[in-house]
Amino acid sequence: MLIPAWRALRLGEHLCTGALLGGGVALLGHLGTPRPWLPALVAWWHRRLARALGVRVVCRGGAAPGALLAVNHVSWLDIPVLGGATPVHFLSKAEVRQWPLVGWLAELAGTVFMRRGAHEAPRVAQEIARRLRSGARVAIFPEGTTSDGRGLLRFHARLFSAAEDGTVPVQPVAIRYGNGHMPDHIAPFVGEDTLLAHLGRVLRHPGLTVTLTFLPPVAAQAASRRELAETARAAVAAELCRLADVSAAVPADAAHMSAADGAAA
């Protein structure tokens, strides 16, 4: 009981810190003050959130400058895991904007919100393209929803149109929770699960490890958005299979030590 309670206290303190920082960021934005440090601050906040939740992140590779990151989607934890590894703007469902405090902080951090079923893909793709042209990274979850981590859903192609002209790199990113042959069964946030119920299970988790792999960018020149989607999905699928094979070949305690060492680095 001590570890979940301590994590809950750390989480509460972290959210309060976010509210104070968010108030300052919002005020400076209202005054028109430049905030070149905002992406680094947001990345720091994400890293601190992952630590407060007891999530160990093993990061492999690095994000390409100004890249469209195509990421498999397992959980809301994907946001602090990826956001802590590199400054990035996220695409999120519009409902997240209504989440208390978290939605407001996400908006301040530059999240692009998209309403489902509202035929907003063209508008959102244009906004993503604008941000990519400005040099920012943007992360999309092309599956459109979360999976249980044991498979990979189809990558929808419509948002890849933001990189269809070949002027920005498309970089596949693989997220895998757990260090055994089978993915972690607690990390996935799927179905009718609620945020509070899932958060409670994460706080009680004895040690959640996630491997985040930035794969080589795919060639975007003269590629259609469907080709980009299929190529990115194939790269992520291959990496998830490789990680499962590696985990199966490494004793659990050795994998745990490796994850801890990577997090410490």
> pLDDT (tens digit, 0 to 9) for every residue of the chain, 265 residues total?
788 999 999 999 999 999 999 999 999 999 999 999 999 999 999 999 999 999 999 999 999 999 999 999 999 999 999 999 999 999 988 888 888 888 999 999 999 998 876 577 888 888 999 999 899 999 999 998 999 988 899 999 988 988 887 788 999 999 999 987 889 999 999 988 999 999 999 999 998 999 999 999 987 666 789 999 999 999 999 999 999 887 666 554 444 444 344 433 3
Q: Determine contact, residues 117/154, Cβ cutoff 8 Å.
A: no
Q: Three-class SS of residue 213?
A: strand
Distance, CA of 8 to CA of 28 (rounded, Å): 30
**Strand 55-60 to strand 112-114: parallel, antiparallel, or no bridges (unpaired)?**
unpaired
pLDDT for residue 239: 96
The answer to whether the CB of 163 falls within 8 A of the CB of 171 is no
Q: Check which CATH number belongs to the domain holding 114 and give it.
A: 3.40.1130
Domain total for the chain?
1
Asked whether 149 and 46 are in contact (CB, 8 A), the reply is: no
Confidence (pLDDT) at 143: 94
What pTM did the predictor assign? 0.88
Q: Determine the pLDDT at residue 210.
A: 97
Structural domain for 186, as ranges: 2-264
- Tell me the C-alpha distance between 126 and 111, whole Å: 14
Confidence at residue 142, expressed as pLDDT on a 0 to 100 scale = 94
Q: DSSP secondary-structure letter at 158?
A: G
The pLDDT value recorded for residue 254 is: 43
CB 113, CB 92: distance < 8 Å: yes
Task: Provide DSSP, 100-155.
Answer: TTHHHHHHHTTPEEE-TTS--HHHHHHHHHHHHHTT--EEE-TTSS---SSS-PPP
